[in-house]
């Protein structure tokens, strides 16, 4: 074992032993992609899979940071440990998080069992980089019960949050008709829970109704639409009864006995629309209950395992794309750089397709040899 590998293994051991300093250092190495960071993530991988991961997104000013703060406090009051990753806009000069040094967890200052980290989006779509996904693994392996990812902005690109989070919460401000319409661009498709924050403001009821209508139109006509938006059957087990809040499980059992034909009906989750006032903590308990309901649904439906498989597949593809890109960039440099090829294309000596074929030929030959 090399000296650097030994140091990384020691760091992993200390992290797994619950040392917060080791956790912070590991995430720093992951974010900066310092030498050996992949070995760290690889060693941590076997210790992941226990944490509940929630992604929270929404337009600027919707109150995401305040809501995250109150969620973390709620979980801590229940005796659970929390990890928070806030993905901030990247600095155009340093690539770091513009708001990296801000203090946003006012309710949890000094609590060592709430680990807060602000990370750079690094220009990745949806504000989530590979480093963020790896940081989630570090928090999971450390033993955090709950991990919250707060992403930058809201829009089409924010769909990347679904690749890392088990449950996606979308925050909307009251009366923000434009924001609600913007959800149609794509983020409506990934939201498991929609929260109208600042619900003490005028227009909250109208915004709730608009969201519910959009969800109703999006989903299968069989899906239960909870127009009361409090409690409700969050997921349908095929008997018309819900397990999302306050439905009685015994009712579902009796229905199953009375109509065996429903036994094979798939579980269906109906996205919930809730109201909160994050500044006062109003509605946080109901939000937590709904998040737990969704986690129960993921377990019962098998979707949690399916999400994990899809996430692993996407990570493999992402790493391959990244690594192959680096290999090809090195090959381009070895041949004089892309500018030289570009000039040849401009002068009609070759064309972009021919250049790509030429640069890829050694890699293709190598893979063909291995196949033989």
Same domain, 290 and 326: no
Same domain, 231 and 329: no
Rounded CA-CA distance 67/280 in Å is: 10
Read off the tokens for 276: 């909160």
Rounded CA-CA distance 191/62 in Å is: 15
At which of 251, 279, 301 does a domain end? Answer: 301
Q: Is 202 exposed, middle or buried (0-12, 13-18, 19+ CB in 10 A)?
A: exposed
Same domain, 214 and 179: yes
Q: According to the model, what pLDDT value does residue 32 have?
A: 86
Same domain, 76 and 178: yes
Read off the tokens for 3: 């000296």
The answer to whether residue 230 is domain-embedded is yes
Same domain, 169 and 222: yes
At which of 301, 324, 345 does a domain end? Answer: 301
CB atoms within 10 A of CB 272: 31
The answer to whether residue 278 is domain-embedded is yes
Cβ atoms of 110 and 116 closer than 8 Å: no
Cβ atoms of 49 and 136 closer than 8 Å: no
Q: According to the model, what pLDDT value does residue 135 have?
A: 94
- List CB contacts of 112: < 8 A, sequence separation 6 or more: 20
Cβ atoms of 44 and 15 closer than 8 Å: yes
Cβ atoms of 128 and 151 closer than 8 Å: yes
Q: What is the pLDDT of residues 27-52, one digit of tens each?
A: 999 988 889 999 999 999 999 999 99
- φ and ψ at residue 234, rounded to 5 degrees: -75, -35
The answer to whether residue 218 is domain-embedded is yes
The answer to whether residue 13 is domain-embedded is no
Same domain, 292 and 330: no
Rounded CA-CA distance 174/193 in Å is: 16
- List CB contacts of 361: < 8 A, sequence separation 6 or more: none
> Which stretches in the chain have pLDDT values below 70?
1-4, 89-110, 121-129, 153-162, 176-186, 219-264
Q: Which of 356, 355, 351 is nearest to 324 (CA)?
A: 356
The answer to whether residue 258 is domain-embedded is no
DSSP 267: P
- φ and ψ at residue 104, rounded to 5 degrees: -120, -10
Strands 167-172 and 193-196: parallel
Same domain, 363 and 270: no
Partner residues linked to 150 by β-bridges = 56, 86
Same domain, 291 and 360: no
**Chain centroid, CA 151 distance in Å:** 8
- φ and ψ at residue 113, rounded to 5 degrees: -90, 5
Same domain, 158 and 71: yes
Q: According to the model, what pLDDT value does residue 108 have?
A: 66
Q: According to the model, what pLDDT value does residue 256 have?
A: 39
The answer to whether residue 144 is domain-embedded is yes
Same domain, 320 and 216: no
- List CB contacts of 199: < 8 A, sequence separation 6 or more: 174, 275, 276, 277, 282, 283
Q: With left for phi above 0 and alpha for psi between -120 and 50, is residue 173 left, alpha or beta?
A: beta
Same domain, 341 and 223: no
Same domain, 337 and 225: no
Q: According to the model, what pLDDT value does residue 232 have?
A: 42
Buried b (16+ CB within 10 A) or exposed e, 16-47: beeeeebbeebbebbbeeeebbebbbebbeeb
Q: According to the model, what pLDDT value does residue 292 have?
A: 97
CB atoms within 10 A of CB 66: 21
CATH of the domain at 64: 3.40.50.300
At which of 274, 301, 328 does a domain end? Answer: 301
Number of domains in the chain: 2
Q: According to the model, what pLDDT value does residue 93 have?
A: 43
Q: Which domain holds residue 100?
A: 49-236+266-301
Whole-model pTM?
0.81
The answer to whether residue 112 is domain-embedded is yes
The answer to whether residue 143 is domain-embedded is yes
């Amino acid at each position: 074992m090399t000296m650097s590998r030994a140091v990384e293994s020691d760091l992993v051991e200390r992290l797994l032993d619950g040392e917060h300093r080791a956790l912070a250092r590991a995430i720093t190495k992951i974010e900066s992609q310092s030498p050996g960071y992949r070995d760290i993530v690889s060693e941590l991988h076997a210790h992941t899979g226990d944490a509940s991961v929630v992604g929270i997104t929404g337009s600027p000013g919707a109150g995401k940071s305040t809501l995250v703060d109150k969620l973390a406090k709620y979980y801590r009051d229940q005796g659970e440990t929390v990890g928070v990753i806030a993905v901030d806009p990247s600095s155009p000069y340093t690539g770091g998080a513009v708001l990296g040094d801000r203090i946003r967890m006012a309710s949890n200052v000094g609590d060592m069992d709430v680990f807060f980290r602000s990370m750079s989006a690094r220009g990745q779509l949806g504000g989530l980089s590979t480093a963020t996904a790896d940081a989630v693994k570090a928090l999971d392996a450390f033993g955090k019960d709950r991990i919250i990812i707060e992403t930058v902005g809201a829009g089409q690109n924010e769909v990347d949050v679904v690749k890392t989070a088990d449950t996606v919460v979308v925050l909307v401000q009251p009366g923000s008709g434009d924001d609600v319409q913007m959800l149609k661009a794509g983020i409506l498709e990934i939201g498991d829970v929609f929260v109208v924050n600042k619900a003490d403001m005028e227009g909250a009821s109208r915004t709730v109704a608009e969201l519910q209508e959009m969800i109703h139109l999006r989903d299968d006509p069989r899906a239960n639409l909870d127009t009361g938006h409090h409690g409700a059957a969050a997921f349908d087990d095929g008997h018309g009864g819900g397990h999302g809040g306050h439905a009685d499980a015994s009712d579902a059992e009796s229905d199953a006995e009375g109509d065996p034909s429903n036994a094979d009906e798939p579980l269906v989750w109906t996205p919930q629309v809730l109201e909160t006032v994050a500044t006062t903590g109003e509605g946080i308990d109901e939000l937590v209950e709904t998040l737990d309901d969704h986690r129960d649904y993921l377990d019962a439906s098998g979707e949690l395992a399916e999400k994990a498989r899809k996430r692993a597949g996407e990570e493999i593809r992402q790493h391959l794309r990244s690594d192959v890109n680096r290999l090809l960039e090195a090959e381009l440099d070895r041949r004089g750089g892309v500018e030289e090829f570009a000039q040849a294309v401009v002068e009609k000596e070759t064309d972009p397709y021919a250049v790509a074929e030429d640069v890829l030929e050694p890699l293709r030959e190598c893979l063909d040899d291995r196949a033989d």
